[in-house]
């Protein structure tokens, strides 16, 4: 860990490629909607550009910040997250029946996005510190699960089911890589699966999502409207797409196409080849991230790199799976592509940390 190299150039190239594609996709998908609602076709474009500038500035800081110092910040980070998650339940801005946003200095952000990165740092730190006890369920894995469960439960109360599932799954995989027994992980999964299913079915709006996912064409003008329009957009692109800026679905057919449902617009405009190219970029990001994780001899660094890589790639798969009708909608943005400041900034911060880890990773 003594020798530092330049950040992984392939990783940086992938990040810039996704950011560039995201800017183009945001303008293309939001111009009509922004003009209709705000009187300016570039309204969302400039806001996204501002978030990118902030995110890149933070990423550059963390590229040059020794990630091992994050271990000393674990407890303050957890305390900060507890405060923010309590505040959002009390003072959060309600959107669509959920309180997920806090406003500070005129800017809105989601505390759950900060919790994603904080918990990954915590789990990596915990598994590194308790490496001799992690195989022991009561002394190793159980205390870790209680902390993860507490934070996921706080996010679930907003209400939000998709984010806790993403965070919880990622943290459990990190703990498995860190030494937890597979038998214990599988037993936990068998216990949690019916509880998650019950939580998904108990709330009427979640039950409606599941039914519209299973049978979207039963109510194409009602509960299945968004998924139906998404599938129509995906199917309209053909092999090469209709061309950038030429999507028909963004003409106020697909609701708010610049956020969670931005992938269908990209698929319509760039076609199957463009969609596969985007999937290839996420695949390369995953490959580079896990390669960095395997090349570092430090356990904390390896687990941190694995967690950051896993949560970004999983979120991309969840998003694409939801808009293509493979899984129920989760309300998760497409990393580095969808409009939104909180997700974009935290993702860039995470990738800055990953780039710093790559500077210490041994050469092949």
1 within a domain of the structure (yes/no): no
Look at residue 2 and tell me if it is in a domain: no
Residue 214: per-residue pLDDT: 76
Q: Which residues are 95's β-sheet partners?
A: 98
User: Is residue 108 in a domain?
Assistant: yes
- Domain contains 4: no
pLDDT at residue 338, as a whole number: 93
**196 belongs to a structural domain:** yes
Low-confidence ranges of the chain (pLDDT < 50): 1, 364
Q: Is residue 3 included in any domain, yes or no?
A: no
- What confidence score (pLDDT) does residue 329 get? 78
In a domain, 27, yes or no: yes
CA distances from 189 to 152, 327, 329 (A): 15, 18, 21
- Number of structural domains found in the chain: 1
241 is a domain residue: yes
Domain that holds residue 211: 9-360
| Confidence at residue 57, expressed as pLDDT on a 0 to 100 scale | 96
């Amino acid at each position: 860990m003594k020798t530092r190299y330049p950040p992984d150039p392939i990783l940086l190239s992938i990040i810039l490629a996704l950011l560039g594609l995201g800017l183009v996709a945001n303008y293309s998908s939001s111009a009509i909607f922004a003009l209709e609602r705000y009187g300016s076709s570039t309204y969302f474009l400039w806001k996204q550009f501002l978030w990118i500038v902030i995110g890149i500035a933070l990423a550059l800081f963390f590229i040059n910040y020794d990630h091992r110092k994050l271990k000393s910040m674990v407890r303050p980070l957890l305390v900060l997250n507890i405060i923010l998650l309590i505040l959002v339940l009390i003072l959060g801005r309600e959107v669509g029946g959920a309180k997920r946003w806090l406003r500070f200095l005129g800017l809105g952000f989601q505390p759950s996005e900060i919790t994603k990165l904080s918990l990954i740092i915590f789990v990596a730190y915990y598994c590194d510190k308790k490496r001799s006890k992690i195989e022991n369920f009561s002394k190793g894995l159980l205390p870790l699960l209680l902390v993860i469960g507490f934070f996921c439960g706080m996010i679930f109360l907003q209400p939000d089911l998709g984010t806790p599932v993403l965070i919880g799954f990622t943290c459990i995989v990190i703990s498995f890589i860190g030494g937890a027994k597979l038998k214990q992980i599988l037993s936990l999964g068998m216990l949690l699966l019916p509880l998650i299913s019950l939580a998904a079915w108990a709330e009427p709006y979640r039950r409606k999502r599941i039914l519209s996912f299973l049978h979207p064409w039963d109510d194409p003008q009602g509960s299945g409207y968004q998924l139906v329009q998404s599938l129509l957009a995906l199917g309209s692109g053909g092999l090469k797409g209709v061309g950038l800026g030429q999507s028909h679905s963004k003409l106020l057919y697909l609701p708010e196409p610049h956020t969670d449902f931005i992938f269908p617009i990209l698929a319509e405009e760039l076609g199957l080849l463009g969609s596969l190219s985007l999937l290839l970029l996420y695949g390369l990001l995953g490959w580079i991230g896990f390669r960095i994780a395997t090349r570092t001899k430090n356990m904390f660094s390896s687990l941190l790199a694995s967690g950051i890589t896993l949560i970004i790639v999983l979120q991309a798969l969840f998003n694409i799976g939801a808009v293509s009708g493979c899984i129920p909608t989760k309300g998760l943005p497409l990393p580095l592509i969808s409009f939104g400041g909180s997700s974009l900034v935290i993702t860039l911060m995470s990738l800055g940390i990953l780039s710093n880890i790559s500077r210490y990773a041994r050469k092949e």
